[in-house]
A and B are shown apart, each in its own frame.
Chain A
Amino acid sequence: MPKKILVIDDEELIVETVERALRRAGYEVVSARSGREALEQVRHSDFDLIITDIRMPDLNGVDTLSHIRDVLKEKGRPKIPEICMTGYADEAMMRKAEALGAADWIEKPFDLNNFLDRIHRVMTLHQMEYFNYSHKGFVYKYVVMLTDTDQFQHMSFANYLKLMFLAADALILPALDHGLLQKIRFRLAASRMQFKRQTAPGDIILVKVNASEVNDSDFSLLFTFVLQGSADLVGLGRQAYELIDLRTGERTPLPEKINQLLIPVKVEEANLVYKY
C-alpha cells in the first residue's frame, strides 16, 4: 500500500506542485487548504506523514500540528512525523517548530528531488524509531536465503512461521538448561500471522519479540517483522504457549528463569498500534 501524505498549504500553486511531485513518486496525497481543514482530515483518516506550510491565515502551521497531536492523542493513535515548509527565513516560527519536535523543515522554494529525499528519510527514521523504541523487545535478525524462496521468488509462508519459532527459541533458550528441558515443555496452543509484504533473497528481516499475557503457566509472544533498512512492516505474529510438566502431562508454573526473560519484553497490548 502506498504511503499517505497530508499536505497543508493555503497557496493553491504550492499544493498542486507538491501533490504532483508526491504522486509521481508513488505516494497517496490528500491536501488541506487550512489548519482547520487539516484537523478534519486527521480526525477521519490515517496518514504516514504531514507536510505543512508554517505561515497560514487563521491557524498557522505550528499550531495546526499541535492541535493535530492533541487529536491523535485523544484517539489513541500514534504520532505522525511532520515536515514544515516556510517561504522565507522565519526564525521565530522555525524555533517554534523545533521546540514542537517536528521531524524536519524546508525552505521554499526547494529542489523537488531534495524534498523527496527528505520525505523518504523522515518516514524511514520514524518507522525505525517506532520499531526500536516504541516498546522494548528482543530482536532476532534473519537473512532470507535462496532456499527459503519458491518459484515465485518470494519467501514462502511456511518459512515465515519457521522464523517465528526461531525467534521464540532464541529468546527462551538462554533460560533453558538441560535439567529444565528434561522437566518441562513449551506446548504451542495457538499461533497466527498476518503478512504485509513479501521478501526476496538477500533481504534482512528483523523480528522483534515481545511478551504479553504472562500468567502462571502460560504466556503469549508477539512478533513484529520488519525489513532492515527501510523498516517496512513485513508481518505480525502471535503465539500462545503453555508450560507442561513432562512427567505428569499437566500444566506447570513458569520457572523464574523464564519469567526473568519475559518480563523485560512484556508490553500492554492495549497500547500497541498494530493488532497482532
Chain B
Amino acid sequence: MEETQAPSHKVFVYDKIGVFFKHTDYHGFVHPYNYFEWTSYVREAFFRETVAGFRQILDTPIKMMTVKIESSAFHDSYFGDCIEAQLTISRIKKVSFDVIVRFSNKLSRQIVCTTKHTLVFIDSDTQKFADIPDDLKKAVVEHEENEP
C-alpha cells in the first residue's frame, strides 16, 4: 500500500478494491452497503501496516469499538470499476479518534463516497474507557488531518 505525504499529514492509500457482480444491486450500481464493508478492510489494513505490534495489541484486553458511523454518497460506481480508498484520522482524543475514508474512482478521480466513524477504546476486563495504545497512537497522529 502507498503512503502519500501531504503538507501536514500522511494519507493511507488502499487500492485493492475492485467492483464485482456481488457488489452491485438490482440496477447495477454498487450497493451502498459495500462502502461500509470496504471501510472495515481499509481500516484493518491501515492498522496492520502502520501500527507496530498490532497483533500483540489485539491480544490485550484493550478493544476498539465503533460507536458511530456515517456516510455520504456523491457518485455511482459500477461493475468493473476500480476504487481507491484514502484513510486519514481526525479528532484524536484520549480514548477515541475518528477514521475518515474517502473512496474515489481510480479512472475518473471522482470521490464516490466518504465514510467517517468513531473508534473508542475499552478495557474489556474493567469495562472502562482505556487510553489509545501508544504504538497505535503514534500511527494515528501521523495521519491526523486538520479539520477545516
Q: Which residues of A contact B (CB under 8 A)?
A: 152, 156-158, 161-162, 165, 181, 185, 187-195, 198, 246
Q: Which of chain B's residues have a CB closer than 8 A to the CB of A185?
A: 27, 29
B69 touches A190 (CB 8 A): no
> How far apart are the CA atoms of A47 and B27 in the complex, in Å?
48
Known contacts A158-B36, A161-B36; decide if A189 and B63 are in contact (CB<8 Å). no
> How far apart are the CA atoms of A188 and B37 in the complex, in Å?
16
Q: Which of chain A's residues have a CB closer than 8 A to the CB of B71?
A: 190-192
Q: Per a CB cutoff under 8 Å, which of A152, A161, A193, A194 touches B63?
A: A152
Q: List 16 A-B pairs, Cβ < 8 Å.
A: A165-B33, A185-B27, A187-B73, A189-B72, A190-B73, A191-B32, A191-B71, A192-B68, A192-B69, A192-B71, A193-B69, A193-B70, A194-B67, A194-B68, A195-B65, A195-B67
Q: Per a CB cutoff under 8 Å, which of A152, A156, A187, A246 touches B40?
A: A156
CB-contacts of B1-49 with A (<8 A):
26-27, 29, 31-33, 36-37, 39-40
Known contacts A157-B117, A188-B32, A246-B27; decide if A193 and B68 are in contact (CB<8 Å). yes
A158 touches B72 (CB 8 A): no
**Which chain B residue has the least Cβ–Cβ distance from A151?**
B58
Q: Which of chain A's residues have a CB closer than 8 A to the CB of B67?
A: 194-195
A195 touches B66 (CB 8 A): yes
> How far apart are the CA atoms of A195 and B68 in the complex, in Å?
6
A158 touches B39 (CB 8 A): yes
Known contacts A157-B117, A158-B37, A162-B33; decide if A191 and B70 are in contact (CB<8 Å). yes
Q: Which of chain B's residues have a CB closer than 8 A to the CB of A181?
A: 26
CB-contacts of B95-144 with A (<8 A):
117
> How far apart are the CA atoms of A107 and B67 in the complex, in Å?
42
A161 touches B68 (CB 8 A): no
Q: Which of chain B's residues have a CB closer than 8 A to the CB of A158?
A: 33, 36-37, 39-40
The interface centre, meaning the residue of B27, B36, B117 with most chain A CB atoms within 10 A of its CB, is B36
A-B contact count (CB 8 A): 50
Q: Which of chain A's residues have a CB closer than 8 A to the CB of B36?
A: 157-158, 161-162
> How far apart are the CA atoms of A193 and B33 in the complex, in Å?
13
Q: Which of chain B's residues have a CB closer than 8 A to the CB of A198?
A: 65
Q: Which of chain A's residues have a CB closer than 8 A to the CB of B70?
A: 190-193
- Not counting A190-B72, A192-B68, a sample of 11 additional A-B residue pairs whose C-beta atoms are within 8 angstroms of each other reads A158-B37, A158-B40, A161-B36, A162-B36, A165-B32, A185-B29, A189-B73, A194-B68, A195-B65, A198-B65, A246-B27
Would you give the shortest CB distance from A169 to chain B, in whole angstroms? 10
Would you give the shortest CB distance from A233 to chain B, in whole angstroms? 13
**Which chain A residue has the least Cβ–Cβ distance from B29?**
A185
The interface centre, meaning the residue of A156, A189, A191 with most chain B CB atoms within 10 A of its CB, is A191
Would you give the shortest CB distance from A248 to chain B, in whole angstroms? 14
Q: Which of chain B's residues have a CB closer than 8 A to the CB of A192?
A: 68-71
**Which chain A residue has the least Cβ–Cβ distance from B40?**
A158
**Which chain B residue has the least Cβ–Cβ distance from A197?**
B65
The interface centre, meaning the residue of A158, A192, A194 with most chain B CB atoms within 10 A of its CB, is A158
> How far apart are the CA atoms of A7 and B30 in the complex, in Å?
54
A157 touches B66 (CB 8 A): yes
> How far apart are the CA atoms of A191 and B73 in the complex, in Å?
9
> How far apart are the CA atoms of A198 and B71 in the complex, in Å?
21
> How far apart are the CA atoms of A88 and B52 in the complex, in Å?
66
Q: Which of chain A's residues have a CB closer than 8 A to the CB of B39?
A: 158
> How far apart are the CA atoms of A161 and B70 in the complex, in Å?
10
A157 touches B69 (CB 8 A): yes
Would you give the shortest CB distance from B35 to chain A, in whole angstroms? 9
Q: Which of chain B's residues have a CB closer than 8 A to the CB of A157?
A: 36, 40, 66, 69, 117
> How far apart are the CA atoms of A187 and B67 in the complex, in Å?
25
Would you give the shortest CB distance from B20 to chain A, in whole angstroms? 17
Q: Per a CB cutoff under 8 Å, which of B27, B65, B69 touches A161?
A: B69
The interface centre, meaning the residue of A162, A187, A189, A193 with most chain B CB atoms within 10 A of its CB, is A193
